[in-house]
A and B are shown apart, each in its own frame.
Chain A
C-alpha cells in the first residue's frame, strides 16, 4: 500500500528557511506520477504549494514569489520542499501528496505542523 510520510522541524524562525521531506513507501517516486506539497493554515483552507515529476517540473504557486524549491531524491525515494524567508503567514500543516496525471491528488501524507515564530 502506498504511503507518504512528511518529516521536518516543527518550528522555524521568521526570515529563515523551512525544509520538509516526504518519504514515499511501497511505490517508486520515478513512476509516471506527480508529487506535490499542499499546505493549510490553522483553521483555513487548502493551498497548493508546488508539484514535481521525476521527468518534468517543478511548478510552483506564483503567490510564493520564487521562495519555494521542490526537488526529488530518487535514491531515498523522497521529495523535498524548501521555503525561504518564511513569515508567520507560512505557518500551518504541510501535506505531501501524489497526483495521478489529470486525476487529482489521490494519496496524501498525514501532514506535519510547522509554526513560524521567534
Chain B
C-alpha cells in the first residue's frame, strides 16, 4: 500500500497569505497520478488538482499543484475566506489511497 503522509496537520494563516501543503508518498506515485481535494464541513470533497498539476474544471488559478516521485505540493497563492477547509491528497497510481488531511484554519 502506498501510504500518503500530509504535513502540516494544521496550518494557521490569514486571508491574502500564501499556503503550502505537502504530501509525501511511501513509494513513488506511478505516472504522478496524484490528486488534491478540498472538503468543507458537511460537504463532499471537491476535486481541485489531478495528475499532480492539472487544475480541475472551474478551479481558480490561485490553486496550483506540483511535484513528482514521492513529494507533492499544493499551493494556494493568496488565500480567500472560502479556502479555509480540510485538504486531502490521493494517489491513484497503484490502487487508491488518501492522505490523512491538512486542516487550513484562519489565524
Contact = CB atoms under 8 A, between A and B. Distances in A.
A104 B98 contact: no
A102 B98 contact: no
Interface in A62-118: 62, 95, 97, 99-100, 102-106, 108-111
A59 interface: yes
Contacts of B101: 45-46
A7 to B, nearest CB: 15
Interface in B40-73: 43-47, 50-51, 54, 56-57
Chain B interface mostly helix, strand, loop or mixed?
loop
Interface range on chain B (Cβ under 8 Å from partner): 20 to 34
A108 B44 contact: yes
Max chain B C-beta neighbours (<10 A), residue from A59, A62, A95, A105: A105
B89 to A, nearest CB: 10
